[in-house]
Chain A
Amino acid sequence: MSSTTAHPRLESWRRGLYRFRQSWVSVLGLLIVSVLLVLAIGGQHLAPYPQHIAGLVDTSARLQAPSTTYWFGTNELGQDVFSLVVAGTRISLLAGMAVVIVGAAFGVFVGAIAGFLGGWVDEVLMRLADLKLTVPGLILAMAVAAALGPGIVNMVFAIALSWWPGYARLVRGEVMAKREETFVLASRAMGAGTNRLLWKHILPNIMSPIIVKMSLDMGFAILTVASLGFIGIGVKPPTPEWGSLLSVARVNMPDYWWTAIFPGLAIFMAVFGFNLLGDGLRDLLDPKARR
């Protein structure tokens, strides 16, 4: 079928890139996410005032408006808001990713077992998921974080706990559909066992919707992390994090708007970027879901 002599994997990547580039919003999403990733990795070195990130206070330059020296202005402690926002990228992105990965891993495991085995196992696991869905996620996360004490690991764990049922449901449905495919039947006829069917035949074929959901969820996970930071559970100042930056800055509103606007804008851009990327990935990996 294919006319080129390139390696098949490479060929399919090139095809993917071609389709991805057809939509400029997806490219924009990829661009935003790439910038965020660069900031998350090299933020400490890219920030103009690394000493402010470490907690240095400069009372001579309190609450200065945005200027060429301080791009996003300074806060009530005289710290450069731009540096803080850049430094906050790492925590937000890391926490968001951790939440999505932990939640997805657990959800995929539960959903795969429920979907493949069916019967009472399915009933029990899915009713557990339903039970979880009846409790508002943020409240549960707050309760867990309050019980375990503040801290980034506890926060990730708390949010992930409210995150897995979405994946479990998605994966369960996909597994049930794929279980009936002819190639799975072919493998059963050869004598393949549950493990082989599930991990070699079914799961590799449902990775696309999972990856798409993870990407779409990243934005919301970052938002949730910021919300917990805002209400004071999670990352504590002076470690810069977008939610807690916003929380501290709210007393400065509206006169010193830059202290709140820029962390808020950062959250917005992150959510926006991951959503656009997720939409693009869906078009790429799961073209049937496109409207």
Chain B
Amino acid sequence: MNPPSLDTDTLLEIDDLNLAMRSFEGEIQVLNGVSFAVKRGEIWGIVGETGSGKSLTGLTVSRLVPTPPGRYLRGSVRFQGQDVLKQSEETMRTLRGRRIGMIFQDPTTNLNPTFRIGTQLVDVALHAAKLDPTILGLPAGASRRARRAAAEKVAIARLEEVGIPNAAERVNDYPHQFSGGMKQRVLIAMALIGRPDLLIADEPTTALDVSVQAQILRLIHGLVEEHNLGVLFITHNLGVVAQLCTHVAVMYAGAIVESGPVRDVLKHPRHDYTRGLLASVPKPSMKRGELRGLAGGALAAEALAPPPPRAAPGGTIMAIEHVVKEFPGARRGFFDRAPPVQALRDVSLNIRQGESFGLVGESGSGKTTLTRCILQLEKITSGRIVYDGIDLAAQTPQQMQALRARIQIVFQDPYASLNPRMTIRDIIAEPMEIHHGKLGLTPRQRTDRAAELLEQVGLTTQHLNRFPHEFSGGQRQRIGIARALAPKPDFLILDEPTSALDVSVQAQVLNLLHDLQSRLGLTYFFISHDLGVIRYICDRVALIHHGKLVEQGETEDVFTNPRSDYAKMLLAAMPDPDPDLSPLRRREAVLL
């Protein structure tokens, strides 16, 4: 097909790409001279934080950026020698899904829930076969029925290839019958049907649990070896890049600040931003308060000034004793119900005054249910939750109301947890209004206290009259923390407080939490699926799996010497930001 040349291996060559977007504020340049080239067999990781332009770069390759509002100012995107930006829409359609496969972040929204997955795969196969009949392996002019049967065979073969057990039967299932990781596999199978040369994966594992993520990474790695694909892997997770990618391009503010082979960039970063990004990821060797983070696109000058030392943990403040929580089963007919679902099975833990207690679990493990039970937003089925000697479940609503001031929560999603119609002042003052009886503040004093809290979390009093949408994710999370601190609590539940944030912002929020704990003597119940974060901030840790505690103990003990299989598996699946520690690479080394 292509004339043989020296560069026949180069699949994609992006040269000085400049893209602008029109909006209310006028035209903003979002891509600023992006250049790199992907060869067959290479996995290019594009890393960057929110708004750095990494997803737009991926979309540009298959020209999916809508124009307008987008406008290409300069540059070229050559895919196998052809400039994608100059092709007709017709030609692009033959490239997309055929020569260029795409996988996106959220596997649930990318499959049509009303069709069987077999139907969806067959559709793709039949469409791809219109352009390249060899996909089905049939002579031209084969009957409709024969083509359909062949397409089904192709679908099953692809599903088997991506590791779906019983593929021949599962083609008859609907998307909701698959787990998140399985759906992502189905989507990868779909992308492979057209036998692409280039695979663009936009955060394909971000919505998945770490153990599933590890499987998907292994799958992509295997596919590259087998089919000699080129991959553009867009992610914000440096650990994933270190594990999987052969090359990496670090993006900041629409430009690539550094690119090259993954070992060179991650081990010997030359650019300040890359160094800052790497310093933002908590590492096992770090002590609390040592995370440095970024300031204005460069490594922060130095670590946070060390806060006053924490008092040693006191006695038990929160005792969770044999807690069981059942949800009624789904209705089956008029009177019948499925057996109840056990979300928490005999969970017991003791949290000491002034410590950080970590709870680690994957989605559906019951960690959020436990926080709701502690807050008495859900009634527990049996067991006791004792806070400071008081059995919470036995309290009247009035007594519980008073206790709520002492137990506060910070939520995962800073975008959803603040009322968009309230000003920051009103948001932070709300708990003070509710607990007027305890605090007894006048509206004027509440405003003063809100201002004081804002300064405590690193914002300024100018922000008081603004609305949540004017703040970035990290700033909103600070506001959420200020609100939780308003009624002067002593127990703070932190429900994945940094999972929705970029790593540099995560570093800032973690340092803030560390600082606040030292100053205010708070007790933290820190819930996360990120083992690195837990190891950085927690004194003790418990692992929860399918509603059962599988392991608990001192953080260092659990991490260095895990006893349960589940803990061992989780620790092994955790992507380490050191490229030399990648299990995929170790296999490579063995093969060589």
Asked if A pairs with B, the answer is yes
Beta-carbon contact of A183 and B434 below 8 Å: no
In whole angstroms, what is the CA distance A3 to B435 when docked?
37
Q: Which of the residues A1, A185, A187, A201 comes within 8 Å of B470, measured between beta carbons? A: A1
Residues of B within 8 A of A15 (CB): 24
Beta-carbon contact of A191 and B434 below 8 Å: yes
Q: Which of the residues B377, B413, B469 comes within 8 Å of A188, measured between beta carbons? A: B377
Residues of B within 8 A of A200 (CB): 419, 422
Identify 14 residue pairs between A and B in the complex whose beta-carbon atoms are under 8 Å apart, listed by A's number: A8-B466, A181-B416, A186-B418, A188-B377, A189-B409, A190-B408, A190-B430, A190-B431, A190-B434, A191-B400, A191-B401, A191-B431, A200-B422, A204-B421
For the complex, is B385 an interface residue (Cβ under 8 Å from A)? no
Per CB-CB distance, the 3 closest pairs between chain A and chain B, nearest first, are A191-B404, A182-B416, A204-B421
Beta-carbon contact of B405 and A191 below 8 Å: yes
Residues of A within 8 A of B350 (CB): none
CB distance from B21 to the nearest CB of A (A): 14
In whole angstroms, what is the CA distance A1 to B470 when docked?
5
Beta-carbon contact of A189 and B377 below 8 Å: yes
For the complex, is B472 an interface residue (Cβ under 8 Å from A)? yes
| A15 to chain B: closest residue by CB | B24
CB distance from B413 to the nearest CB of A (A): 6
| A186 to chain B: closest residue by CB | B417
| B431 to chain A: closest residue by CB | A190
CB distance from B163 to the nearest CB of A (A): 35
Residues of chain A in range 172-207 having any CB-CB distance to chain B below 8 Å: 181-183, 185-192, 196, 200-201, 204-205
For the complex, is A71 an interface residue (Cβ under 8 Å from B)? no
Q: Which of the residues A1, A186, A192 comes within 8 Å of B411, measured between beta carbons? A: A186
In whole angstroms, what is the CA distance A196 to B401 when docked?
14
Residues of B within 8 A of A201 (CB): 419
For the complex, is B454 an interface residue (Cβ under 8 Å from A)? no
CB distance from A206 to the nearest CB of B (A): 10
For the complex, is B467 an interface residue (Cβ under 8 Å from A)? yes
In whole angstroms, what is the CA distance A189 to B377 when docked?
7
Beta-carbon contact of A1 and B471 below 8 Å: yes
In whole angstroms, what is the CA distance A28 to B339 when docked?
59
Beta-carbon contact of B472 and A1 below 8 Å: yes
5 further interface pairs, Cβ-Cβ under 8 Å (given A8-B465, A182-B411): A182-B413, A183-B417, A189-B409, A190-B430, A196-B434
For the complex, is A18 an interface residue (Cβ under 8 Å from B)? yes
For the complex, is A2 an interface residue (Cβ under 8 Å from B)? yes
In whole angstroms, what is the CA distance A200 to B427 when docked?
11
In whole angstroms, what is the CA distance A186 to B468 when docked?
15
Contacts from B to A (Cβ < 8 Å): 24-25, 375, 377, 400-401, 404-405, 408-409, 411, 413, 416-422, 430-431, 434-435, 465-467, 469-472, 480, 483, 487
In whole angstroms, what is the CA distance A278 to B190 when docked?
42
- Of A2, A18, A182, A196, which is in contact with the most chain B CB atoms at under 10 Å from its CB? A182
In whole angstroms, what is the CA distance A186 to B407 when docked?
12
Residues of A within 8 A of B411 (CB): 182, 185-186
Residues of A within 8 A of B487 (CB): 190
Beta-carbon contact of A183 and B25 below 8 Å: no
| A19 to chain B: closest residue by CB | B24
| B486 to chain A: closest residue by CB | A190
Beta-carbon contact of B419 and A183 below 8 Å: yes
Residues of B within 8 A of A12 (CB): 467
Interface size on A, residues (CB 8 A): 23
Beta-carbon contact of A8 and B470 below 8 Å: yes
CB distance from B174 to the nearest CB of A (A): 24
| A183 to chain B: closest residue by CB | B419
In whole angstroms, what is the CA distance A122 to B247 when docked?
58
Residues of A within 8 A of B400 (CB): 191
Beta-carbon contact of A192 and B466 below 8 Å: no
In whole angstroms, what is the CA distance A187 to B429 when docked?
12
Q: Which of the residues B416, B417, B422, B470 comes within 8 Å of A2, measured between beta carbons? A: B470
| A202 to chain B: closest residue by CB | B419
Residues of A within 8 A of B430 (CB): 187, 190, 192
In whole angstroms, what is the CA distance A192 to B466 when docked?
23
Residues of B within 8 A of A181 (CB): 416
CB distance from B309 to the nearest CB of A (A): 31
In whole angstroms, what is the CA distance A15 to B483 when docked?
29
Q: Which of the residues B404, B418, B435, B465 comes within 8 Å of A189, measured between beta carbons? A: B404
Beta-carbon contact of B420 and A205 below 8 Å: yes
| A203 to chain B: closest residue by CB | B421
CB distance from A171 to the nearest CB of B (A): 16
Beta-carbon contact of B466 and A190 below 8 Å: no
| Contact status of A205 and B421, CB under 8 A, knowing A190-B404, A191-B435 | yes
| B375 to chain A: closest residue by CB | A189
Residues of B within 8 A of A183 (CB): 416-420
In whole angstroms, what is the CA distance A136 to B417 when docked?
43
| B26 to chain A: closest residue by CB | A3
Q: Which of the residues A3, A187, A191, A205 comes within 8 Å of B25, measured between beta carbons? A: A3
In whole angstroms, what is the CA distance A185 to B420 when docked?
14
In whole angstroms, what is the CA distance A273 to B469 when docked?
32
Beta-carbon contact of A192 and B467 below 8 Å: no
CB distance from B13 to the nearest CB of A (A): 35
Residues of A within 8 A of B405 (CB): 191
Residues of B within 8 A of A182 (CB): 411, 413, 416-417
In whole angstroms, what is the CA distance A252 to B11 when docked?
79
| B435 to chain A: closest residue by CB | A191
CB distance from A196 to the nearest CB of B (A): 7
Residues of B within 8 A of A204 (CB): 419, 421-422
| B423 to chain A: closest residue by CB | A8
Residues of A within 8 A of B471 (CB): 1
Residues of B within 8 A of A191 (CB): 400-401, 404-405, 431, 434-435
Beta-carbon contact of B416 and A189 below 8 Å: no
| A204 to chain B: closest residue by CB | B421
Q: Which of the residues A18, A185, A192 comes within 8 Å of B434, measured between beta carbons? A: A192
In whole angstroms, what is the CA distance A165 to B479 when docked?
39
CB distance from A3 to the nearest CB of B (A): 6
Residues of A within 8 A of B467 (CB): 8, 12
| A191 to chain B: closest residue by CB | B404
Residues of chain A in range 5-41 having any CB-CB distance to chain B below 8 Å: 8, 12, 15, 18
- Of B408, B421, B467, which is in contact with the most chain A CB atoms at under 10 Å from its CB? B421
- Of A182, A188, A190, A204, which is in contact with the most chain B CB atoms at under 10 Å from its CB? A190
Residues of A within 8 A of B472 (CB): 1
Residues of B within 8 A of A3 (CB): 25
